[in-house]
Amino acid sequence: MGSHSSNRTRVPLSRMAMGNGHGEDSPYFDGWKAYQIDPFDPAENPHGVIQMGLAENQLCADLIEEWLIDHPEGSICTAGGSDKFRDIANFQDYHGLPKFRNGIAIFMGKVRGNRVKFDPDRIVMSGGATGAHDLIAFCLADPGDAFLVPTPYYPGFDRDLCWRTGVKILPVNCKSSNNFKITKKALEEAYNGAVDAGIRVKGLIITNPSNPLGTTLDRATMKDLVDFVNEMNIHLVCDEIYAATLFRGPDFISIAEVIEEYDDDCCNRDLIHIIYSLSKDMGLPGFRIGIVYSYNDDVVRCGRKMSSFGLISSQTQHLIASMLSDDEFVERFIAESSARLAKRHGYFTHELERVGIRCLDSNAGLFVWMDLRELLAEQTFEAEMVLWRVVIHKVKLNVSPGSSFHCSEPGWYRVCIANMDDQTMEIALARIRSFVLENMMGNCMRVVRSKESKAVECKLKVSFSNRKMEEVMKMPCSMSPCSPMPPRSPLVRART
């Protein structure tokens, strides 16, 4: 079949197909491209770009592998499970396998310390959380309607909530001055702004634990949100995809728990919906296990019909149902995953602290929200992007700039830490240390050439206390051969 120019197609495709609602034209994909062209590999490409832009949980894959080896019946293809093959292969009912829904309901309860119970009949399947957001938006809103979303928020929402649905996102601006908490004032401002613009707000979408902040909402804030949506009569969609990534206090409080504290006349449960997935908590993004859990019967009914467009493979439902029915395994997994995340997070943030880099204090998630405001030449998003390009192309770490998360303040970066082994993490930390070190000698000018050969001047300023500088000087410093060394630095010359 030959190839040819498609500009001969006189019949246009839909606006949806030809537009950029998929969100991939954004400059943030430069990081991905840099990684794809030059991916780090400890053996094959030790100087490549380390992927720290992908929120994957790879810390407990060994636990699942062990379980799979010990439980061949989890797969319908093994001798242990093949007697079920034909029934499972034939099963396409959009209600899902009952044991799958039961397993998910119980797992969700366990992740919340069994403080709440979930009803399997309210579980609707979707193609990952990506599919779940698309589905809930189709159920709740019409084209032109809006959802309020606190910033910073996961960039994928722009595609997932808006692309096919025609719905808008209106940001609720949160600030670092109060650790990005969601305030009533910010909610009201956003809502009133919509009303003034003649936009109908259909709901508020929160991610708790937060991506990219890695923090959980406190009870008071949760109650404010419930009160707000009830007062405005709008939906509340809580994306709890990171629920089991909690690694230290304060506790994660699910919306499911909070609404139990309300009488029916104070909280209309028809407004409350939860999005969930096993992609983060169990590290299984490839299996596309997305869930919409709604307290609204009409949403469950409609959502179920819509789920036809993204059902979970019955082969995968069967596997997950088997795994989640193993109580001992589940409880051990949740505890061990939390412990490993705590260790990884603790070590990483401690090492960053030693070179004077702070992160937002967080208790969950697969990433840290790194504060590099002090490294910006000026507090602008342009400066943020300039620094970002340096980090990608020179430090060779793919991190995500805060502006891609619609953060209202420049200088924040999300850095993922659970998608690599200890050795890779050490290399990443060493590169960060090198980068900080070479900039510690005062103001310096760097010329950064991008692959497109446009030269950009970057003036970096760092102010560190003398004590910190001494600490850094004492550290073992494995210089990345790729980081540009200031030719004048006697320290560097002494080490090479």
Partner 1 sequence: MKQPLSLSSKATCNTHGQDSSYFLGWQEYEKDPYDEIHNQGGIIQMGLAENQLSFDLLESWLSENPNVAGFKGNHGELIFRELALFQDYHGRLSFKQAMVKFMAELRGNKVSFDPSKLVLTAGATSANETLMFCLAEKGDAILVPTPYYPGFDRDLKWRTGAEIVPIHCTSSNRFKVTSSALEQAYREAHSLDLNVKAVLVTNPSNPLGTTMTRKELSLLMDFVIDKEIHLVSDEIYSGTVFGPPSFVSIMEVLDERKYDGHDVWDRVHVVYSLSKDLGLPGFRVGAIYSNNEYVVAAATKMSSFGLVSSQTQHFLSVLLSDDKFTCNYIEENKQRLKLRHSLLVSGLSSAGICCLESNSGLFCWVDMRHLLSSNTFEAEMELWRKIVFRVKLNISPGSSCHCTEPGWFRLCFANMSEATLDVAMRRIKEFVAEIVVTRPGNPASNNQRPSHSRPLTSFRSPLSKKSLAKWVFRLSLHDGRER
List, by residue number, the catalytic residues. Answer: 154, 239, 241, 280
Rounded CA gap, 326 and 328, in Å?
Answer: 6
Query: x/- string (CB under 8 A) for partner 1, residues 5-44?
Result: -x-xxxx-xxxxxx---x-x--------------------
Query: What are the E-state strand segments in 99-185?
Result: 123-127, 146-150, 168-172
- Give residues 327-366 in contact with partner 1 (rule: CB under 8 A): none
Q: Which residues have C-beta within 8 Å of that of residue 41, sequence separation ≥ 6?
A: 48
- Give residues 236-295 in contact with partner 1 (rule: CB under 8 A): 265, 268, 270-271, 279, 283-288
CB of 123 to partner 1, least distance (A): 13
- Give residues 42-81 in contact with partner 1 (rule: CB under 8 A): 56, 58, 61, 64-65, 68-69, 72, 75-79, 81
DSSP string of 365-427, one letter each residue: SSEEEEE-GGG-SSSSHHHHHHHHHHHHHTS-EE-EEGGGGT-SSTTEEEEE-SSS-HHHHHH
Rounded CA gap, 234 and 148, in Å?
Answer: 10
CB of 368 to partner 1, least distance (A): 21
> Counting contacts by CB under 8 A, is residue 95 touching partner 1?
yes
CB of 16 to partner 1, least distance (A): 6
Residue among 127 and 411 whose Cβ is closer to partner 1: 127
Rounded CA gap, 370 and 372, in Å?
Answer: 6
Q: Among 91, 262, 347, 381, indicate the residue that binds partner 1 (CB under 8 A).
A: 91
Rounded CA gap, 266 and 257, in Å?
Answer: 15
- Give residues 157-186 in contact with partner 1 (rule: CB under 8 A): 159-160, 163-164
Q: Are 133 and 239 in contact (CB under 8 A)?
A: yes
Q: What angle do CA 52, 57, 58 make, to 5 degrees?
A: 90
CB of 260 to partner 1, least distance (A): 19
> Counting contacts by CB under 8 A, is residue 302 touching partner 1?
yes
Residue among 161 and 246 whose Cβ is closer to partner 1: 161
Q: Among 29, 33, 41, 93, indicate the residue that binds partner 1 (CB under 8 A).
A: 93
What pairing do the DSSP bridges indicate for beta strands 397-398 and 50-51? parallel
Whats the size of the chain, residue-wise?
Answer: 496
CB of 139 to partner 1, least distance (A): 5
Residue among 314 and 480 whose Cβ is closer to partner 1: 314
> Counting contacts by CB under 8 A, is residue 134 touching partner 1?
yes
Residue 169 phi/psi, 5-degree rounding, is: -110, 130
Q: Which residues have C-beta within 8 Å of that of residue 401, sequence separation ≥ 6?
A: 28, 384, 385, 388, 412, 413
Q: Which stretch binds partner 1 (CB under 8 A): 211-219, 305-313, 363-371, 387-395?
A: 305-313
Residue among 20 and 443 whose Cβ is closer to partner 1: 20
CB of 245 to partner 1, least distance (A): 16
- Give residues 430-459 in contact with partner 1 (rule: CB under 8 A): none
> Counting contacts by CB under 8 A, is residue 464 touching partner 1?
no
CB of 223 to partner 1, least distance (A): 18
- Give residues 199-228 in contact with partner 1 (rule: CB under 8 A): 202
Residue among 294 and 363 whose Cβ is closer to partner 1: 294
Q: What angle do CA 401, 149, 178 make, to 5 degrees?
A: 70
294 closest CA partner among 408, 451, 124: 124
Return contacts of 14-21, CB within 8 angstroms, 24+ apart: 16/163, 16/164, 21/158, 21/159, 21/162, 21/163, 21/164
